[in-house]
Structure 1
Amino acid sequence: MTRLEPFRLKSMWGNYNFDYACSLSRGRSGGVWKDVDGPFFMVNVYAPQDHDSKVALWSNLVAFIANHAGTFLVFGDFNSVRVESERSGSSFSSDDADFFNSFLEEANLFDLPQGGRAFTYMNTPGTKFSKLDRFLLSQESVNRISDINVTVLDRKCSDHNPVLLSIKKVDYGPIPFKFFKSWLSKNGIDDKIASTWIAHASDPLHVTLKTLKNVLKPWIKQVMMSEQSELKIISSKITDIDLRLDRGIATPSERQRQERLDLLKERDEISILHDMDVYQKARIKWDLEGDENSKFFHSLINQQRRTQAINGVLQDGT
């Protein structure tokens, strides 16, 4: 939705006695949600207490959802419960619950399970409890957004508990170390890894990886400094040969150009390893920061994240 029309708001609110503010999306805030394609509607509900008014609101929401294609997340204070166990200390209206459950069925909305507190409302004396606040998600999108969570938090000043919608992300802690593909082409890397792994085979996996990091970090730094020095020497030699060829004072072996070709090959081999590091760093940066103007790019990166994700490491049955 790029703009809001007053008549559309009136159809949801019921009158013109309100004001509103609208902030259009920019860049990556343009409605990108993992595993959700197409328009995504977020509808905030504050339902009235009167039964007939609530029935009218449910009908308007059903019509609105039916006339708009996309994924819906409907949330807020619905002032209704679905079953008797969602009330305590107050009367339960089966008619009100039936109409509310029928609304969920007709709108094809799924009541997301809530963790934390059992109720979302408590009166001041602490004698009446109800589950009035909830998040409802389009039924067809529940399986695609499998990592969504709803938690009822502790109540502060309000008589309603805040309800938190979050996406559960698996975090295995800090990455042990960065490893570049170019390192596998460097002489001695296999011996360094094998000797460290054998020496710490009885240690826990994270201890072995930490030790390997401490071994490889200074070694690779020394190797790369040596390569940079060698690259400068090779480039200087190529420049000297080119200068002598240009002035016509090159030696017979230099005129045959084999020495120069060998130097170019050595320079290219070192430069290719450097280019591999730059390419890998760029891929990582794109993966983390993304491209705010490319929907295709985001879908591609999300697919790679799912296929390349490490969900766990099994060692000795643990």
Structure 2
Amino acid sequence: MNCLSVNVRGLGVNVRDLGFDSKAGWIRRIKSEMGISFIGIQETMSCNIDSGLVSNFWGGLGFDFEKVDSIRNSGGLLSIWDPKVLMKDLVLKDTNFLLVSGLLTDGTTRLNVINVYAPQNNGDKRDLWAKISEVLNGGHGWWIVFGDFNAVREPSERKNSCFDPVCAREFNDFLDDTGLREYNMKVMRFTYLVNRRGECKMSRIDRIFVCDAIFNKWPNACVRALKREYSDHAPLCLSLIDKNFAPKPFRWFNSWLDRPGCEEVILSGLLGWSNSGPADLNLIRKLGSLRGKLKAWINDLRIKENEDVKRLILEKEDMERLMEHKELDEAELWVWVECKKSLQEIDSFRHRDMRQKSWVKWASLGDENTSFFPQKVGDPLTSTEAR
């Protein structure tokens, strides 16, 4: 199950409002692109949330939701999820957190998701940590705890703003006491960015935590900070199966290495690349760029190859018709020989590609692909009589 946590700094209650449309469309797009099953929104700043409004953020019907109303224009929480993934049977609400608990589709695994919006005051945060700890210690099943915690864990998680060691120590103590774990966050170092009097203040106050059971079951899960488009907080996406960011499959034929220009395309794509950004995304972009260059190269080569085949066949046939009336001179004979050699070379490349495709298909489909091998490989099974 993929989860999205985002502080929107106000949903808006008027669906005609431009900000509402922008934020709703933004979250819908993220949900679609990332395959999100659970959305947690902080700072709704609204007491008028109904299913009609929520549908704009989810994108149609087929959802369930729970909310905590804001106090005047402060706070407010909204959790939306796919009931086909999580079947809710318990909800616990507090001013600063919203727990949704239920069974996953297997009917036996309990998942508890806590959506958090922490207060600014250290004393209020201390009380919140105690409440959440009590909930965690008194429950059972898997736990995901995410949201805006208004706290950092170490000085490096703030830039151009003051680090509060007391707040950080109490936050870390809360995490240690509850046993919550955290995946490395990819793409960004900071989640919150605000410009105050011409100075950009940055911090990592938005987090996603999981229990030991989830962390051990999905040790390679992914938490990504997405682009801040309609909020000064970066949305966080927890992907328990990090498949959305893998390079797309690419069909490669071994014969390409012997074709003219292939090596040059590969070298130019690798050596001409300018590294930037996180290493994992940089590698994916680099391979994606090389994939694009190779596709363009092979497409151009095949177009030229088809044109060459037509031309070579015509020239070869012209020479053979001429043979019927006279002996070819040295130049004409050379043209005929070179045409035959070039056609055989192209045919050889195509045969190698066909053979490789057949081997791949044989590996995946087995006996459904037997027809090629008796002719080309001499499969001993085809010569064995049934007994």
- TM-score, L = length of structure 2: 0.40
Q: TM-score, normalised by structure 1?
A: 0.48
Identify the structure with the greater helix proportion.
1
